[in-house]
Amino acid sequence: EDQVTQSPEALRLQEGESSSLNCSYTVSGLRGLFWYRQDPGKGPEFLFTLYSAGEEKEKERLKATLTKKESFLHITAPKPEDSATYLCAVQPPDSNYQLIWGAGTKLIIKP
Partner 1 sequence: NAGVTQTPKFRVLKTGQSMTLLCAQDMNHEYMYWYRQDPGMGLRLIHYSVGEGTTAKGEVPDGYNVSRLKKQNFLLGLESAAPSQTSVYFCASSWGTSREAFFGQGTRLTVV
The residue range among 12-20, 45-53, 57-65, 67-75 that interacts with partner 1, by the rule CB under 8 A, is: 45-53
Q: Which of 36, 2, 7 is nearest to 23 (CA)?
A: 7
Q: Considering only residues 21, 25, 27, 44, which one is a binding residue for partner 1 as defined by CB under 8 A? A: 44
The residue range among 10-18, 57-65, 67-75, 89-97 that interacts with partner 1, by the rule CB under 8 A, is: 89-97
* 42 in contact with partner 1 (CB under 8 A): yes
Nearer to partner 1, 46 or 111 (CB): 46
59-63: Cβ within 8 A, 24+ apart:
none
Give the DSSP letter string of 55-106. -EEEETTEEEEE-SSEEEEEE-S--GGG-EEEEEEEE-TT-SS--EEP--EE
* 21 in contact with partner 1 (CB under 8 A): no
Q: Which spans of this chain sit near partner 1 (rule: CB under 8 A)?
A: 4, 31-32, 34, 41-46, 49, 87, 89, 91, 96-104
